[in-house]
């Protein structure tokens, strides 16, 4: 059985001054940390869903992924700066510390903040006192939602990008 491990967020936010929306997860999974990119687990459907709704080619490399979100005015980060966690289990998170979102909001005119999954949504509200727009998790653990259902849910970001 795995034990709790203290994790500090391993990578910087992806954004630039043109970013219009901020998409936040909770904390990168073990596979994302190894791949050194947000949603780096090959079974996570984030990049498939985002490229589909943006009518863009599927990004194969980390550089392609960064370019895709920046070119489409999307900022990516996570709610947490650090936490104790067992593996990649959001339900095990304890002793969480929040990221400083001013790093992004002081440089980009963010119109909307989206949180992926219930844990990110609850943590964002708890630490900031603000609401976010909920998006269902693209994690392989969320097998109840088909790709088609995720695409429908994620299309709501498009109105903030125009």
Q: Between the CA of residue 107 and those of 18, 97, 104, 114, what are the distances in Å? A: 9, 22, 6, 18
Please state, in angstroms and rounded to a whole number, the distance separating the CA atoms of residues 130 and 12. Answer: 22
Among 44, 62, 72, 162, the active-site one is 44
Residue 4 burial (10 A CB sphere; 0-12, 13-18, 19+): middle
Among 90, 109, 79, 88, which residue's Cα sits nearest to residue 33? 88
Among 141, 125, 133, which residue's Cα sits nearest to residue 157? 133
Catalytic: 44?
yes
Active site residues: 44
């Amino acid at each position: 059985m795995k034990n709790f491990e203290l994790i500090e967020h391993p990578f910087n936010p992806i954004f630039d001054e043109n970013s219009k929306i901020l998409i936040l997860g909770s904390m990168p999974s073990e596979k994302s940390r190894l791949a050194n990119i947000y949603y780096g687990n090959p079974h996570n459907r984030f990049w498939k869903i985002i490229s589909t709704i943006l009518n863009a080619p599927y990004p194969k490399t980390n550089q392609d992924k960064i370019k895709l979100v920046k070119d489409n005015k999307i900022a990516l980060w996570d709610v947490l700066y650090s936490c104790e966690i067992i593996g990649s289990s959001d339900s095990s998170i304890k002793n969480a510390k929040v990221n400083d979102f001013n790093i992004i909001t002081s440089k980009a005119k963010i119109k909307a903040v989206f949180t992926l999954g219930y844990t990110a949504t609850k943590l964002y509200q708890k630490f900031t006192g603000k609401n976010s727009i909920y998006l269902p998790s693209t994690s392989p653990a969320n097998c109840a939602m088909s790709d088609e259902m995720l695409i429908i849910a994620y299309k709501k970001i498009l109105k903030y990008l125009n």
